[in-house]
Amino acid sequence: MKKLIGLTTSIEEDKYFRRLTAPVKSHGLLSDYFDYIDKTVRTTLEKYATTEEPIEFLHKMHRLPFAVFMRLLIGDEVNQELFDQMFEEITAVISGVHNLPINLPGFAYHKGLKARKVLGERFQKLIDERREAMKDGKSMPRANIIDMLLSNTNQDYEANILSDKKIIEILVLFSFAGFEPVALMAIKAILHLQKHPHFLEKAKEEQEEIVKRRASSNAGLSFDEIRQMTFVSKVINETLRIATDQTVFLRDTSTTFNINGYTIPKGWKFFAVVWNIHMNPDVYVQPKEFNPSRWDDIETKPGIFLPFSMGPKSCPGSNLAKLQISVILHYYLLHYRVEQINPEARCYPPENCLVKFKKLSLSSDGN
């Protein structure tokens, strides 16, 4: 993975670039990009519904959050040719990470290494172009990741200028984590709701109530309405809880401690297996069941729900991810359903899962 992603940082460097990219979590940035997210979701789902042939669910859904990520990366419209090229390259890198590290032609890892080299060159070109534009005083329409990383000055950190190599590594890491989990979680939420019609209906009714409260029947989804999606938020939490079966966190012990009679010395590395945390029956009754309503009563304590890790190592894109999934579910619940074409295929995780998107007939509220 190190050869494909490349990022290794000291504690100070890690803190530093997390401070630089902190605006990604902010309410202001999310609201600034909301209209683009909303438009991208609407047009993408409509396109799926008008496609006669079945679609490979995960691969197609990847393109939706990747479009959002590319806009956030650059801050402006992305050339379609560049978009397609970078999508294929980062997809090859992700495939390489998920496969055995066999560096021979024909293997996913080998393809991933080649794609990583090309991806680095594309990021370098974007960095060079943006740096020249900044020298000329040209600003982008919106805050973006490349500008955040290029505007790196910090008197508390002696090596306060990130090298281009380090910036590229950060961009590759953000690319790796910036869209695949969003697509995966959105699909898993949809498939869970399909299997549990009573929860699907409850989530749909919530979206219909949001539509009814709008001042105009022509008004679209707004950023403020995301806060009204209380049940959908529970659907997302429950999906994240169940879906993190392969997630582990590598951490260092900051002090010596004892657990179940075993002494763990300071400085040792350990794996935190999220599945064991999220499947703890002392916290989650019947933990293997998909039940969004369990979040009505759960007292959220530190350490019991870690889909995005926690503390200073937590994912900087967590709020953006949940926002995108909320918008996807809003339009899906109101307007679409999926029909699985190959039910015999392994669809959890949803690899090679073929579906047809179907648009629902116009509802009585006109939406």
Q: Please give the annotated binding residues for heme, written as ranges.
A: 315
Helix-strand-coil split of the chain, %, nearest 5: 55, 10, 35
The per-residue b/e assignment along 25-39, b for 16 or more CB within 10 angstroms, e otherwise, is beeebbebbbeebbe
How far from the centroid of its chain's Cα atoms is residue 209's Cα?
27
> Distance from CA of residue 363 to its chain's centroid?
31
Interatomic CA distance for residues 292 and 232, integer angstroms: 8
283 vs 58: CA distance, rounded Å: 31
Compute the residue count for the chain.
Answer: 367
Distinct helix (H) and strand (E) counts, the chain: 13, 7
Round to whole Å and give the CA distance between 191 and 339. Answer: 10
Q: Do 353 and 59 touch, CB atoms closer than 8 A?
A: no
Q: Name the E strands within 188-287.
A: 248-252, 257-259, 262-264, 269-273
Closest by CA position to 324, among listed 36, 75, 90? 36
C-alpha 179/C-alpha 31 separation (Å) is 18
Give the 3-state secondary structure of residue 152: coil
Q: Is the distance from CB of 68 to CB of 75 less than 8 angstroms?
A: no
Q: What is the spatial distance between Cα 97 and Cα 109, in angstroms, rounded to a whole number?
A: 7
Binding annotation: 315
Both tokens of 86, joined, read 């970078």
End-to-end CA distance of the chain: 46
Evaluate whether 186 touches 236 at the Cβ level (below 8 Å): no
